[in-house]
Structure 1
Amino acid sequence: MAAWQVLIDFESDTKLSEEMAFDVSERLGEHGAVPSFELGGTQGSIVMCVDAEDVIEAARQGLEYTGQALPDCKLTPNNLEVTEWGKAVEHLHDPLYPEVVGYAEIARLAGVTRQRARMFPKIVDFPKPVIETAQGALYTKSAIEAWLERRTRKAKKA
Protein backbone atom coordinates (compact mmCIF):
# COMPACT_ATOMS: atom_id res chain seq x y z
CA MET A 1 0.00 0.00 0.00
CA ALA A 2 1.35 3.43 -0.96
CA ALA A 3 0.20 7.01 -0.49
CA TRP A 4 -0.81 8.96 -3.61
CA GLN A 5 -1.83 12.54 -4.30
CA VAL A 6 -4.89 12.69 -6.53
CA LEU A 7 -5.94 15.90 -8.29
CA ILE A 8 -9.26 15.96 -10.11
CA ASP A 9 -10.47 18.91 -12.19
CA PHE A 10 -14.14 18.68 -13.07
CA GLU A 11 -17.22 20.41 -14.36
CA SER A 12 -20.47 20.19 -12.42
CA ASP A 13 -24.03 20.31 -13.73
CA THR A 14 -24.90 22.68 -10.87
CA LYS A 15 -23.32 25.89 -9.65
CA LEU A 16 -20.67 25.42 -6.99
CA SER A 17 -20.76 27.38 -3.75
CA GLU A 18 -18.55 28.17 -0.80
CA GLU A 19 -20.81 26.01 1.36
CA MET A 20 -20.21 23.07 -0.98
CA ALA A 21 -16.45 23.57 -0.64
CA PHE A 22 -16.74 23.40 3.15
CA ASP A 23 -18.86 20.23 2.81
CA VAL A 24 -16.19 18.60 0.63
CA SER A 25 -13.46 19.50 3.13
CA GLU A 26 -15.52 17.96 5.92
CA ARG A 27 -16.57 14.82 4.03
CA LEU A 28 -13.06 14.11 2.77
CA GLY A 29 -11.22 15.36 5.86
CA GLU A 30 -9.52 12.01 6.46
CA HIS A 31 -7.94 12.38 3.00
CA GLY A 32 -6.73 15.95 3.61
CA ALA A 33 -8.87 17.11 0.69
CA VAL A 34 -8.54 20.68 -0.53
CA PRO A 35 -11.31 21.85 -2.86
CA SER A 36 -11.03 24.81 -5.19
CA PHE A 37 -14.25 25.99 -6.81
CA GLU A 38 -15.14 28.73 -9.24
CA LEU A 39 -17.75 30.26 -6.93
CA GLY A 40 -21.03 30.69 -8.73
CA GLY A 41 -19.58 28.73 -11.64
CA THR A 42 -19.40 25.07 -12.56
CA GLN A 43 -15.62 24.44 -12.63
CA GLY A 44 -13.82 22.92 -9.67
CA SER A 45 -10.95 20.79 -8.51
CA ILE A 46 -10.15 18.67 -5.50
CA VAL A 47 -6.73 17.47 -4.40
CA MET A 48 -6.50 14.69 -1.82
CA CYS A 49 -4.34 11.88 -0.47
CA VAL A 50 -5.38 8.24 -0.93
CA ASP A 51 -3.77 4.95 0.03
CA ALA A 52 -3.78 2.44 -2.81
CA GLU A 53 -1.84 -0.50 -4.25
CA ASP A 54 -1.13 1.25 -7.56
CA VAL A 55 -1.79 4.35 -9.65
CA ILE A 56 -4.96 2.90 -11.24
CA GLU A 57 -6.50 2.10 -7.87
CA ALA A 58 -5.54 5.57 -6.58
CA ALA A 59 -7.26 7.20 -9.57
CA ARG A 60 -10.38 5.06 -9.07
CA GLN A 61 -10.54 5.94 -5.37
CA GLY A 62 -10.05 9.64 -6.05
CA LEU A 63 -12.90 9.67 -8.56
CA GLU A 64 -15.13 7.69 -6.21
CA TYR A 65 -14.42 9.95 -3.21
CA THR A 66 -15.03 13.07 -5.31
CA GLY A 67 -18.43 11.75 -6.38
CA GLN A 68 -19.30 10.87 -2.78
CA ALA A 69 -18.27 14.32 -1.57
CA LEU A 70 -20.63 16.04 -4.04
CA PRO A 71 -23.58 13.62 -4.17
CA ASP A 72 -26.07 16.18 -5.53
CA CYS A 73 -23.90 17.08 -8.53
CA LYS A 74 -23.30 15.27 -11.78
CA LEU A 75 -19.55 15.67 -12.27
CA THR A 76 -17.62 15.40 -15.52
CA PRO A 77 -13.89 14.98 -14.85
CA ASN A 78 -11.74 16.87 -17.37
CA ASN A 79 -8.33 16.27 -15.78
CA LEU A 80 -6.97 13.60 -13.47
CA GLU A 81 -3.44 13.58 -12.05
CA VAL A 82 -2.09 10.91 -9.74
CA THR A 83 1.35 11.39 -8.20
CA GLU A 84 3.32 9.32 -5.71
CA TRP A 85 3.15 11.16 -2.40
CA GLY A 86 6.91 11.62 -2.14
CA LYS A 87 7.08 13.21 -5.60
CA ALA A 88 4.12 15.46 -4.78
CA VAL A 89 5.89 16.69 -1.64
CA GLU A 90 9.07 17.38 -3.66
CA HIS A 91 7.05 19.53 -6.08
CA LEU A 92 5.83 21.72 -3.21
CA HIS A 93 9.26 23.35 -3.28
CA ASP A 94 8.98 24.25 -6.98
CA PRO A 95 8.28 27.96 -7.44
CA LEU A 96 4.88 28.81 -8.88
CA TYR A 97 6.26 31.72 -10.86
CA PRO A 98 9.38 32.02 -12.97
CA GLU A 99 12.37 33.88 -11.59
CA VAL A 100 12.25 37.55 -12.57
CA VAL A 101 15.03 40.13 -12.85
CA GLY A 102 15.22 43.90 -12.98
CA TYR A 103 17.75 46.18 -14.64
CA ALA A 104 20.44 45.75 -11.97
CA GLU A 105 20.42 41.98 -12.44
CA ILE A 106 20.22 42.31 -16.24
CA ALA A 107 23.26 44.60 -16.13
CA ARG A 108 25.16 42.05 -14.05
CA LEU A 109 24.20 39.18 -16.40
CA ALA A 110 25.19 41.21 -19.48
CA GLY A 111 28.34 42.68 -17.98
CA VAL A 112 27.22 46.26 -18.66
CA THR A 113 26.22 49.28 -16.58
CA ARG A 114 22.69 49.71 -15.28
CA GLN A 115 22.28 52.71 -17.57
CA ARG A 116 23.15 50.55 -20.58
CA ALA A 117 20.80 47.78 -19.39
CA ARG A 118 17.95 50.33 -19.23
CA MET A 119 18.48 50.96 -22.96
CA PHE A 120 18.03 47.28 -23.90
CA PRO A 121 14.20 47.50 -24.23
CA LYS A 122 14.72 49.82 -27.23
CA ILE A 123 16.30 46.88 -29.08
CA VAL A 124 13.64 45.23 -31.27
CA ASP A 125 14.09 41.61 -30.15
CA PHE A 126 14.52 42.32 -26.42
CA PRO A 127 12.00 40.34 -24.31
CA LYS A 128 8.84 42.04 -23.12
CA PRO A 129 8.45 42.62 -19.36
CA VAL A 130 6.17 40.27 -17.44
CA ILE A 131 5.54 42.74 -14.61
CA GLU A 132 5.59 46.54 -14.42
CA THR A 133 6.28 47.87 -10.92
CA ALA A 134 6.78 51.37 -9.56
CA GLN A 135 10.51 50.60 -9.48
CA GLY A 136 10.58 49.47 -13.10
CA ALA A 137 9.97 46.54 -15.40
CA LEU A 138 10.68 42.93 -14.45
CA TYR A 139 11.61 40.26 -16.99
CA THR A 140 11.82 36.48 -16.78
CA LYS A 141 15.40 35.54 -16.12
CA SER A 142 15.29 32.67 -18.64
CA ALA A 143 14.12 35.02 -21.43
CA ILE A 144 16.91 37.49 -20.64
CA GLU A 145 19.53 34.72 -20.55
CA ALA A 146 18.31 33.37 -23.91
CA TRP A 147 18.35 36.88 -25.42
CA LEU A 148 21.88 37.51 -24.13
CA GLU A 149 23.01 34.17 -25.59
CA ARG A 150 21.59 35.08 -29.04
CA ARG A 151 23.14 38.54 -28.79
CA THR A 152 26.56 37.09 -27.92
CA ARG A 153 26.41 34.62 -30.83
CA LYS A 154 25.52 37.42 -33.27
CA ALA A 155 28.43 39.54 -32.00
CA LYS A 156 30.89 36.64 -32.48
CA LYS A 157 29.74 36.11 -36.10
CA ALA A 158 30.31 39.75 -37.01
Structure 2
Amino acid sequence: MAVWQVLIDFESDVKLSEEMAFDVSECLGKHGAVPSFALGGTQGSIVMCVDADDVIDAGRQGLEYAVEALPNCKLTPNNLEVTEWGKAVEHLHDPLYPEVVGYAEIARLAGVTRQRARMFPKIVDFPKPVIETAQGAL
Protein backbone atom coordinates (compact mmCIF):
# COMPACT_ATOMS: atom_id res chain seq x y z
CA MET A 1 0.00 0.00 0.00
CA ALA A 2 1.31 3.45 -0.93
CA VAL A 3 0.11 7.03 -0.50
CA TRP A 4 -0.86 8.98 -3.63
CA GLN A 5 -1.99 12.52 -4.44
CA VAL A 6 -4.96 12.52 -6.80
CA LEU A 7 -6.02 15.63 -8.72
CA ILE A 8 -9.29 15.58 -10.63
CA ASP A 9 -10.40 18.42 -12.91
CA PHE A 10 -14.03 18.05 -13.90
CA GLU A 11 -17.17 19.51 -15.45
CA SER A 12 -20.45 19.23 -13.59
CA ASP A 13 -23.97 19.14 -14.96
CA VAL A 14 -25.04 21.58 -12.23
CA LYS A 15 -23.69 24.94 -11.10
CA LEU A 16 -21.18 24.59 -8.28
CA SER A 17 -21.64 26.54 -5.07
CA GLU A 18 -19.62 27.48 -2.01
CA GLU A 19 -21.83 25.19 0.07
CA MET A 20 -20.95 22.28 -2.23
CA ALA A 21 -17.24 23.02 -1.76
CA PHE A 22 -17.70 22.88 2.03
CA ASP A 23 -19.62 19.61 1.67
CA VAL A 24 -16.75 18.08 -0.36
CA SER A 25 -14.20 19.22 2.24
CA GLU A 26 -16.29 17.68 5.02
CA CYS A 27 -17.08 14.45 3.17
CA LEU A 28 -13.47 13.90 2.08
CA GLY A 29 -11.83 15.34 5.20
CA LYS A 30 -10.04 12.08 6.00
CA HIS A 31 -8.38 12.38 2.56
CA GLY A 32 -7.26 15.98 3.13
CA ALA A 33 -9.33 16.98 0.11
CA VAL A 34 -9.12 20.51 -1.21
CA PRO A 35 -11.88 21.48 -3.66
CA SER A 36 -11.61 24.42 -6.02
CA PHE A 37 -14.78 25.42 -7.83
CA ALA A 38 -15.66 28.11 -10.35
CA LEU A 39 -18.52 29.32 -8.16
CA GLY A 40 -21.69 29.69 -10.18
CA GLY A 41 -19.98 27.77 -12.98
CA THR A 42 -19.66 24.10 -13.81
CA GLN A 43 -15.89 23.57 -13.61
CA GLY A 44 -13.99 22.40 -10.58
CA SER A 45 -11.13 20.38 -9.24
CA ILE A 46 -10.43 18.29 -6.17
CA VAL A 47 -7.01 17.33 -4.81
CA MET A 48 -6.86 14.55 -2.25
CA CYS A 49 -4.66 11.94 -0.62
CA VAL A 50 -5.44 8.28 -1.34
CA ASP A 51 -3.99 5.02 0.02
CA ALA A 52 -3.80 2.46 -2.80
CA ASP A 53 -1.72 -0.42 -4.11
CA ASP A 54 -0.90 1.23 -7.44
CA VAL A 55 -1.46 4.29 -9.61
CA ILE A 56 -4.51 2.81 -11.37
CA ASP A 57 -6.22 1.93 -8.10
CA ALA A 58 -5.44 5.39 -6.68
CA GLY A 59 -7.01 7.10 -9.71
CA ARG A 60 -10.07 4.86 -9.56
CA GLN A 61 -10.54 5.48 -5.83
CA GLY A 62 -10.09 9.24 -6.26
CA LEU A 63 -12.79 9.33 -8.92
CA GLU A 64 -15.13 7.26 -6.75
CA TYR A 65 -14.56 9.55 -3.76
CA ALA A 66 -15.27 12.65 -5.87
CA VAL A 67 -18.53 11.18 -7.16
CA GLU A 68 -19.56 10.22 -3.59
CA ALA A 69 -18.76 13.74 -2.33
CA LEU A 70 -20.95 15.37 -5.00
CA PRO A 71 -23.94 12.98 -5.09
CA ASN A 72 -26.32 15.34 -6.90
CA CYS A 73 -23.92 16.05 -9.78
CA LYS A 74 -22.93 14.16 -12.87
CA LEU A 75 -19.16 14.67 -13.05
CA THR A 76 -17.23 14.47 -16.30
CA PRO A 77 -13.50 14.26 -15.59
CA ASN A 78 -11.34 16.45 -17.87
CA ASN A 79 -8.03 15.61 -16.25
CA LEU A 80 -6.79 13.04 -13.76
CA GLU A 81 -3.30 13.24 -12.27
CA VAL A 82 -1.99 10.68 -9.83
CA THR A 83 1.39 11.34 -8.19
CA GLU A 84 3.34 9.41 -5.58
CA TRP A 85 3.06 11.35 -2.33
CA GLY A 86 6.81 11.95 -2.01
CA LYS A 87 7.02 13.43 -5.49
CA ALA A 88 3.93 15.59 -4.84
CA VAL A 89 5.56 17.00 -1.70
CA GLU A 90 8.77 17.76 -3.65
CA HIS A 91 6.72 19.80 -6.16
CA LEU A 92 5.23 22.01 -3.43
CA HIS A 93 8.33 24.16 -3.73
CA ASP A 94 7.96 24.64 -7.50
CA PRO A 95 6.99 28.20 -8.44
CA LEU A 96 3.45 28.73 -9.72
CA TYR A 97 4.67 31.02 -12.48
CA PRO A 98 7.71 30.79 -14.71
CA GLU A 99 10.51 33.30 -14.19
CA VAL A 100 9.31 36.64 -15.48
CA VAL A 101 11.00 39.87 -16.48
CA GLY A 102 9.77 43.40 -17.07
CA TYR A 103 10.67 45.80 -19.85
CA ALA A 104 13.75 47.09 -18.01
CA GLU A 105 15.20 43.57 -17.81
CA ILE A 106 14.23 42.83 -21.43
CA ALA A 107 15.97 46.02 -22.53
CA ARG A 108 19.12 45.13 -20.59
CA LEU A 109 19.17 41.55 -21.94
CA ALA A 110 18.57 42.70 -25.53
CA GLY A 111 20.93 45.68 -25.32
CA VAL A 112 18.25 48.19 -26.31
CA THR A 113 16.44 51.08 -24.65
CA ARG A 114 13.33 50.51 -22.53
CA GLN A 115 11.28 52.34 -25.12
CA ARG A 116 12.47 49.91 -27.80
CA ALA A 117 11.81 46.93 -25.51
CA ARG A 118 8.20 48.14 -25.07
CA MET A 119 7.75 47.71 -28.83
CA PHE A 120 8.79 44.03 -28.75
CA PRO A 121 5.24 42.70 -28.05
CA LYS A 122 4.28 43.89 -31.55
CA ILE A 123 6.71 41.31 -32.97
CA VAL A 124 4.65 38.28 -34.05
CA ASP A 125 6.85 35.63 -32.38
CA PHE A 126 7.45 37.59 -29.16
CA PRO A 127 6.06 35.72 -26.11
CA LYS A 128 2.74 36.90 -24.71
CA PRO A 129 2.79 38.26 -21.13
CA VAL A 130 2.41 35.70 -18.35
CA ILE A 131 1.21 38.28 -15.81
CA GLU A 132 -0.31 41.74 -16.26
CA THR A 133 0.30 44.16 -13.39
CA ALA A 134 -0.49 47.84 -12.84
CA GLN A 135 3.18 48.56 -13.65
CA GLY A 136 3.04 46.63 -16.92
CA ALA A 137 3.32 43.21 -18.47
CA LEU A 138 5.69 40.54 -17.19
Q: Does 1:93 align with 2:93?
A: yes
Deviations 1:94-126 (Å, cap 9, x if unpaired)?
Answer: 111121123443355346776886787788866
The number of residues matched between the two structures is: 138
1:13-58 deviation digits (Å, cap 9, x = unpaired) = 2221110100000000010000111211221111100011100110
Q: CA offsets, 1:120-154, max 9 Å, x none?
A: 7788866555555555553xxxxxxxxxxxxxxxx
TM-score with structure 1 length normalisation?
A: 0.71
Q: Structure 1 or 2: larger helix share?
A: 1
Against the structure 1 CA distance between its residues 108 and 35, is the aligned structure 2 distance closer, same or farther, given a 3 Å change threshold? Answer: same
With 97-106 and 119-128 compared, the bigger mean Cα shift is at 119-128
- Once the two structures are superposed, residues 77-104 of structure 1 have per-residue CA deviations (whole angstroms, 9 ceiling, x without a partner) of 2211111111111111111112112344
Counterparts of 2:78 and 2:128, CA distance in 1? 33
- More divergent stretch after superposition (24-33 vs 65-74): 65-74
The CA distance in 2 between the partners of 1:35 and 1:79, in whole Å, is: 14
Structure of higher CA gyration radius:
1
- Structure 1 gaps, min length 5: 139-158
Greater mean alpha carbon deviation, residues 42-51 or residues 124-133: 124-133
| Counterpart position of 1:108 | 108
Structure showing greater relative contact order (alpha-carbon pairs closer than 8 Å, 6 or more residues apart): 2
The alignment-based identity, stated in percent, is 91
TM normalised by structure 2 equals: 0.80
> Counterparts of 1:32 and 1:63 in 2: how far apart (Å)?
15
Deviation at 1:72, TM superposition (A): 1.6
Note closer, same or farther for the CA distance 1:125–1:76 as it changes in structure 2 (3 Å cut): closer
Consecutive unaligned residues of structure 2, counting only runs of 5 or more, are none
Partners of 2:103 and 2:129 lie apart in 1 by 11
Question: Taking structure 1 as reference, are residues 5 and 127 closer, same or farther at Cα in structure 2, changes over 3 Å only?
Answer: closer
User: What are the superposed Cα offsets for residues 1-21 of structure 1, whole Å, 9 maximum, x if unpaired?
Assistant: 111000111122222111010
Q: How many angstroms apart in 1 are the aligned matches of 2:30 and 2:42? A: 25
